[in-house]
Structure 1
Amino acid sequence: MNDEDRDIVRAERDADPERFRNYFREPANEEAESVRSSGSSSTHDAPPSSRRTASMASRTFTRTSTQIEDNFMHYLDRHPTAIQRMQDHRLQHSQTVGSSKRAPVDTSQLPSFGGNKPYPPPLPPSEDYVVEFDGHDDPRHAMNWPTNKKLYVSAILIFDSLAATFASSVFSPAATFVEEEFGKSREVVVLCTSLFVLGYAIGPSIFAPMSELYGRKTPIVIAAFAFGIFNIGVAVAKDYQTLILCRFFAGLFGSCPLAVVAAVFADMYSNQYRGVAVTAFSGTVFNGPFMAPFIGGFIAKSYLGWRWCAYIPAFMGFTAGTLALLYQEESYGPVILVSKASELRRLTRNWGIHAKQEEVEVDLQELAVKNIARPLRILFTEPIVLLITIYMSFLYGLLYLSLTAYGIVFNQIYGFSLGVSGLPYFGLIVGVGIGIVLNLIDVPRYTKKLAANDNIPVPEWRLPIAMVGGITFTIGLFWFGWTAKASIPWIVPTLAGIFIGFGLFTVFLGCLNYIIDAYLMLAASAIAANTIMRSLAGAIFPLFATYMFDGIGIDWGMTLLGCFAALFIPMPFIFYFFGKRIRARSKFAPAPDIEKDKEKRRDEEESGGGGGSS
């Protein structure tokens, strides 16, 4: 870990010292020992009267401190979210691009103050002027919004995400018409999908830090309208170069909700409900690409024509942007405090009042480190992140490769018309739906298990559903490949889609949650690396799909993919049984569950040793 990584770990510790007290036991003890030794030394050298006074003062201070701590802990017991929110905001600020400490300003290089005025004296400590939330009930805080407000904001964001993922695959059934109009081969037309998904790989590096600097609403609104504009560009394109260029930028701006929406849910929902919201959002991310071929096929072959496969996502983007502009309020705590500070400055005319976020300065070097260098370093030095990223990239690539496979099977083998050939995608949608339901059913059990473990997450608890999903996904691939024959009813390979969809969703969500729980304060960097790699896989897989299926057929092509999927089946099992040992050797994974086990063993050894000596 370098200095930047240690800064984040230190900020996490400072934000939640109770949760991470075991990591920093030695320095804390050394400091306490130093205080005790210096205190005892000074007391020993002092005269008796001074020692008595010091002793009385110490007892008085101890009683007062204890009383204050008791009152504070009582308050936290009654309002457990109060400290958590303060902790979240401190940590958010520490991880914001541009929030690191700056070198001292060289005053000799400053311009004159003007008007023959000397520079005024420095203000009192800036912390006195920093605005905060007004307790745990502050209505400005997104977690205190009314439930109906949270729900309609969530609906807007999920619709925005649906527009982006829907657009990623809606051109798949229109490929034939694009080939005819622009005189391009099928392999070249596949770039319409690949370049769109390539935009997914680049966009998060722009919109994630933007949401930390300017809040969640600004990038979502800007990206939604830009997404709509570039889809209009696709719809009116006069040449193929314009079409694929606009598709790329539509994907880049379409990646914004995929990168930011989960953060908005973290702003609005407590741990008790966040899992439900993220599961619903993840289901939309998967079902969007599966719904689009069905709708796009009917649009492309109708009197509207293939260009309306771009107009529809454009209108969805404009609608999402308008709804977000009118009804979505800012949910990011540090930016909410900026508006509060601005209001207080205007009302009080005290220009020193400010929010912590206003101290942030954008630094391109820091931007590169936090959004590119650190994610890649974690990716290639952490076996957990590397292996899970490879697995998830394979899954994400197959998600978009299935667009080609389903088109060949139901359009060419079974002879379905363009729109009807999209109906079998509902097998995949049903599979994802089953995965969503099972995850939602599991949320209360996981919440109780977490509470029983002092709210310390054990990452391996996330993996059982991924174990099942990996097996069903592999079965689905073999099933689909060897039943996609004209002599076998079309419903048989369609039903295989239930297994594929269920496996895709459960493995993806289980592995993603495993990374989040394992890396905690560095999870954003780990997920950033994961997002870049899987988006690249999603862009690359469709490029070789046609060559593979034309060369060895659907049966052997899906068998090859099924064999690769089978190689990944043991991975969740390995991490479930040995993940704790691997994390114990990690430089980046904090492993609070491991520290808790060590603490428990130390207590048992101490109690055992004490019993033996007596």
Structure 2
Amino acid sequence: MFDLAPHPSAPVKRTPTAETFRLGRDRGMPPPLLGDPSEYLVELTDDNDPANAKSWPISRKMRAACVLGFDTLVASWGSSVYSASVEPVSELFGVSRTVAILGLTLYVCGFATGPLAWGPLSELYGRKMPVIVACFVFTCFIFAAATAKDMQTLMLCRFFAGVFASCPLAVVGAAFADLFGNATRGIAIAFFSALVFLGPFISPIVGAFITQSYLGWRWTEYITGIMGALALTLDILFLEETYLKTNLQRRAANIRKETQNFAIHHISEEEVVTPDDLVRKHLLLPVKLLFLEPIVFLMTLYTAFIYGILYLFLEAYPIVFAEKRGINPAVATLPYIGLIIGVLIGCGIVVAFEPRYNRRLEANGGIPVPEDRLLPMMIGAVLFPIGLFWFAWTGNYESVHWLAPTFSGLLTGAGILTIFLQALNYLVDAYLMVAASTIAANTFLRSFFGAGFPLFAVQMFHNLGVEWAGSLLGFLAVAFLPIPFLFYIFGKRLRKFSRYAPTDFGPKPPSDEEIAAEPKEDELPAE
């Protein structure tokens, strides 16, 4: 869903050819530049260089983080606000409920396909431009969905809205990595992840009350479009570029214009991106990682299951609270508040473990300790199935007070966030050099789980009953439960067999103090 810590590969070098280049009439190549070519490179001037977003004042960082956080909230909001529109859309266009649910499914399918483009674009053109373009097009498609006159138009608009909504999910995590260092990045990413999960739980509540009011289901899309327009305005007015490479490229371009010295450039401008490189790096590598790396496959399968449950709840909760207990459909969405509080509890658990992780990171010389990311995930892996069984066996009986299944959301919500977030953090730390491709593989598979689970949720809960449908999910959660414990014990050993997960970073480079303390050659005693 998002790149937590991108690690770009080395620049791609063009293979020299035997071609003789000419610059004009009777003019061949000029003589090589005088001096060291590295003198023409634009780099950071000091630790406080504003091109490096990590050096910004905290107020400037928070302004960018809040704008990007709102972008993320709007994107995730748009996915599930449609759940309240399923019944009226089914009646209006004369289709089955399952077909009407495709408006939700196709939006989440867009989450799977969009990052394949947005990730590379953010590496080439920075974070700001893709976010602004995507936000504008997303808003257009959402308004088009609100005015759709037939089912085909609505479905297509929802799909393409999802494709462009996936941009913040793919780019904002990378922007947070630009803004925050190792000591604070975990907390920032926890905040970002909470927004990713809060959106799908808040919007069904709002959407249900809108749909039931005189406004009707179309206003669920109109309000989402208005939120998208507001996000676009905030992006244009307040969002600054955070990507170091893009900022230095722009600085080099300005210096070239001012000085007319066209040899000045940033090292990234020497890169040559070929179609073959794009295919291997952005399309084939994620597939290889997914199916050839056991850590990536099992972690991705676990997070895909969690993501599927997230969207399955959009169909299961109305069955438990509206159908079983006869609660008004809009009021029956209020139990999502239990899940919302649970997500916030999960966020608190992750933040509470950050100081411990930072101490381990410092003790390891700044080199990530992937297995330490799994401790909060272990807690979530235990809480999650307990919450599912609690929901299943209290939600099935009308005689049980509605607060009982509602409170199960405290455990399931906390489990969802801790498992999902720490699994992604673990994959990034374990696969540093190919982190973007690892997250792309994870995003691709889990988005299809999120798209598919709502399609069979109603039939499963009706045919098996709430108690056994929920228990089936609980048993599956128990089957996944050992994964973080096994990787905590055997993960480092398993990574040693991987081509992509480095375990030996070589000797730690000497610090500046150690270098300064070394005797100079002319200070060495004479023999």
Question: How does the TM-score come out when normalised to structure 2?
Answer: 0.92
Say yes or no: does 1:378 pair with 2:289: yes
**Aligned partners of 1:452, 1:117: CA distance in 2, in Å?**
59
Please name the residue that 2:436 is paired with.
524
The alpha-carbon deviation at position 120 of structure 1 amounts to: 2.8
Matched to 2:62, the amino acid is L
* Structure 2 residue 124 is matched with structure 1 residue 202: no
- The 5-angstrom pairing of residues 16-165 of structure 1 reads 92=8, 94=9, 99-108=11-20, 110=21, 113-124=23-34, 126-165=37-76
1:417-469 deviations in Å (ceiling 9; x for gaps): 23211100000001111111122222122212221232232211111221111
**2:253 equivalent among 335, 342, 347:** 342
Aligned partners of 2:42 and 2:265 also within 8 Å: yes
Q: 1:515 matched to which residue of 2?
A: 427
List per-residue Cα deviations over 1:21-44 (Å, max 9, x = no partner): xxxxxxxxxxxxxxxxxxxxxxxx
Larger radius of gyration: 1
* One-letter identity of the residue aligned with 1:332: Y
Kindly state the Cα deviation for residue 126 of structure 1 after the two structures are TM-superposed. Answer: 4.3
Cα distance in 2 for partners of 1:241, 1:127 equals: 57
Q: Tell me how many residue pairs correspond in the alignment.
A: 502
1:49-106 deviations in Å (ceiling 9; x for gaps): xxxxxxxxxxxxxxxxxxxxxxxxxxxxxxxxxxxxxxx99x63x35xxx41112244
Match 1:492 to one of 401, 404, 411: 404
CA distance in 2, matches of 1:351, 1:454: 40
Q: Distance in 2 between matches of 1:503 and 1:242?
A: 37
- Give CA-to-partner distance per residue, 1:203-249, whole Å, 9 cap, x none: 11100000000011010100111111110111010100010101011
**What displacement does 1:363 show?**
2.0
Matching of residue 555 in structure 1 with residue 453 in structure 2 = no
Task: Tell me which residue corresponds to 2:212.
Answer: 301
Counterpart residue number, 1:417: 328
Match of residue 499 from structure 2:
587
Report if aligned partners of 1:231, 1:313 keep a CA contact under 8 Å in 2. yes
Could you tell me whether the CA contact under 8 Å between 2:13 and 2:272 is conserved in 1? no
- Please report how far the alpha carbon of residue 122 of structure 1 lies from its aligned counterpart in structure 2 after TM superposition: 3.9
Give the letter aligned to residue 121 of structure 1.
Answer: P
The corresponding residue for 1:278 is: 189
Structure 2 CA distance for partners of 1:427 and 1:140, relative to 1, 3 Å: same
Give the distance between the partners of 2:394 and 2:19, measured in 1 at CA. Answer: 77
Instruction: Report the alpha carbon displacement of residue 400 of structure 1 after superposing the two structures with TM.
Output: 0.4
- Map of 1:85 onto structure 2: none
Residue type matched to 1:201 in 2? A
Partner of 1:403: 314
- Superposition RMSD in Å: 1.8
- 1:565 counterpart residue number: 477
Partner of 2:97: 186
Contact 1:431 1:501 in 2 (8 A): yes
Match of 1:319 in 2: 230
Match for residue 30 of structure 1? none
SS in 2 for 1:587: coil
Identify the residue that residue 302 of structure 2 maps to in structure 1. Answer: 391
Residue 514 of structure 1 deviates from its aligned partner by 1.2
Q: Deviations over 1:332-388 (max 9, x none)?
A: 111101111111112111122112232334422211111111111111111111111
> What SS does structure 2 have at the residue aligned with 1:173?
helix
Moved more, 309-318 or 498-507: 309-318
Q: Is the 8 A contact 2:431 2:500 kept in 1?
A: yes
> CA-to-partner distance for each residue in 1:542-574, whole Å, 9 max, x for gaps?
111122122212111111111111101111111
Q: Is the 8 A contact 2:433 2:500 kept in 1?
A: no
CA contact (8 A) 1:330 1:336 kept: yes
My pick for the range that moved more, 465-474 or 438-447, is 438-447
Amino acid at match of 1:539: A
What's the offset of the Cα at 1:117? 3.7
Whether the 8 Å contact between 1:194 and 1:542 is mirrored in structure 2 is: yes
**For the structure 1 residues 117 and 241, does the alpha-carbon distance in structure 2 shift closer, same or farther, using more than 3 Å as the test?**
same
| In structure 2, distance between residues paired with 1:173 and 1:549 | 18
* SS class of match (1:463): helix
Q: State the secondary structure of the residue aligned to 1:174.
A: helix
2:287 and 2:158 mapped to 1: Cα distance? 27
Residue 273 (structure 1) shift: 1.1
For residue 596 of structure 1, report the CA deviation from its aligned partner: 8.4
Contact 1:335–1:357, Cα closer than 8 Å, also in 2? no
Aligned residues of 2:72 and 2:169 also touching (Cα < 8 A): yes
Q: 1:463 aligns with which of 374, 380, 395?
A: 374
Q: Are 2:353 and 2:376, in contact at CA under 8 Å, matched by a contact in 1?
A: no
SS at match of 2:83: coil
Counterpart for residue 476 of structure 1: 387
**Counterpart residue identity of residue 169, structure 1:** S
Q: TM-score, normalised by structure 1?
A: 0.79
Q: Distance in 2 between matches of 1:475 and 1:323?
A: 41
Higher helix share: 1
Structure-2 residue corresponding to 1:505: 417
User: More displaced, 237-246 or 506-515?
Assistant: 506-515
Q: Note the C-alpha offset of 1:115.
A: 4.4
- The 3 A distance-change label for structure 1 pair 596 and 393 is farther
Higher relative contact order (CA 8 A, sep 6+): 2
**Identity across aligned pairs (percent)?**
48
Using the TM superposition, give the Cα deviation of residue 123 of structure 1 relative to its aligned residue in structure 2, in angstroms: 3.5
- Partner residue, 1:173: 84
> How many angstroms apart in 2 are the aligned matches of 1:106 and 1:312?
60
CA displacement 1:467-502 (0-9 Å, x = unmatched): 111111101111111111211111000001111101
Structure 1 match to 2:516:
none
| Matched position secondary structure for 1:455 | coil
Residue 51 of structure 2 aligns to a residue whose secondary structure is coil
Structure 1: distance between partners of 2:278 and 2:26: 39
Unaligned residue ranges in structure 1 (runs of 5+) = 1-87, 598-614
Alignment of 1:228-243 (within 5 A): 228-243=139-154
Shift of 1:315: 1.4
Picking from 542, 547, 553, the partner of 2:454 is 542
Shift in Å at residue 116 of structure 1? 4.2
Query: Displacement, 1:401?
Result: 0.6
